[in-house]
Structure 1
Amino acid sequence: MAKSDRLFRLMHLMRSLRPPVTAGDLARELGVSQRTLYRDIGALRASGARIEGEAGFGYTLTEDYALPPQSLSQIEIEALVLGLSEVRLRGDPALSEAARNALAKITASLPEEKRAQIEHSVGLVHRYLPQKQYEADLSLIRQACWQERALRLGYRDRQGRETLREIWPLAIVYLDKELMLLAHCRLRDAFRQFLVGSILSLDWGQTSFRPRRVPMLRDYLAELRSRHEISPYCEEGRQMMAEKEITAPP
């Protein structure tokens, strides 16, 4: 493999693999020695890529000099337009507006040919049923996830029982017809799933769980897969979760 092709492949791997990526993993993917890999990392840094980390700790691409919007292929543009269109329809007002603004910014940065591909994209999104409205403030949930701060939650389960608890929010899952909040319940000291439509009240809690959200979410998803022996994001997994696990016990 020519060095230029190898460097291009290395950049793609660093964008795609979960950081930090070890030199050993990158070298195996590229089929080169670690010594060659270290030289290639140095070459990318010299070219302007901001790559943090070092041998023995792994590497993280924090600023990508080689990925201008003009590099998007036509099928990638189709995926981008389709995905943002779905967010505009399914998201709450803040998220919907963000999707609209993001597409406008990306479109403005593209050359004329690429802008035309966005304007005449093949994929369209339409929903016959109106989007469900939620009383819970989704912007607050997102902020709590980003900042890794606790939330105080009033919740009604499917049996009509109401509880107050403090949670560490981990992720919002967009199911076919519902939104689900994955969290760690401080009252039960265990992972729980909450239907966003069944949240009665929501406010800031007193504790922070920084920097634990990402590893906690990873552990919870692994627990779900192990429990169901199936991914919670495939159709069967969603159905099982909706029928058996969706409601947090009191």
Structure 2
Amino acid sequence: MRRLSDAVLIVAIALSGCASAPEARAPRIAAADTADAAGFASMRALVPDIRMEIRYAGTHNFVGTRIEGYEAPECYLLRPVAQALARVERTLREAGRRLLIYDCYRPVRAVAHFMRWAGDARDQARKAEFYPELDKSRLVPQYIAERSGHSRGATVDLTLLRCDAGGSCMPMDMGTGFDYFGELAHTDSPNATPEQRGNRHALRAAMEREGFRNYPDEWWHYTLAPEPSPETAYDFPVR
């Protein structure tokens, strides 16, 4: 049986979500208007050759357009979170693997953009790739919600790369793409193949060693636990 504190932690992580999972209480929005003012660190500054594919800064995402607040394809996290993620990357490299980051800090205005999209039943342009088995009306609140843990600067979306001796890296097979809304993206989905579940578990093990915990409905979604500032969200743009 899990200790009570473990059970509480699991519930807290399940509420940290993304696209976003629902949260019980709205955090305050900090007045900081830059990453430096908010105490955030750039992953590119900590790990200059970190692999990133920041989806919301472009058009390859479930909305189909650049998301408000993403002015550049950069990854910012609260400094202790960024430092923990850098340690994950260093350890993985010793085993011929690396991280590929899809999203980090997400401004509050970006989450509002998601909600407007979710409320527009006419816009189904990206259904085939991102939610083929679900009616769009069912995406809220399990996958998209009014508040996101990403806005607190302690949550990251990512996958694993396998690299050869020459430094060429390819994404490992996780069974779905990033931001696939549906049961197959659940970390322990019985419909994923044994290889896909093994790859997901390898990512989970690497992240857990540095204190990150997975949101079980999304194999790519991790939050540092305990969060450095769970009561505070941010809205400065990603630049």
TM norm structure 2:
0.23
Which of the pair has more CA radius of gyration?
1
Q: Which has the higher strand share?
A: 1
TM norm structure 1:
0.23
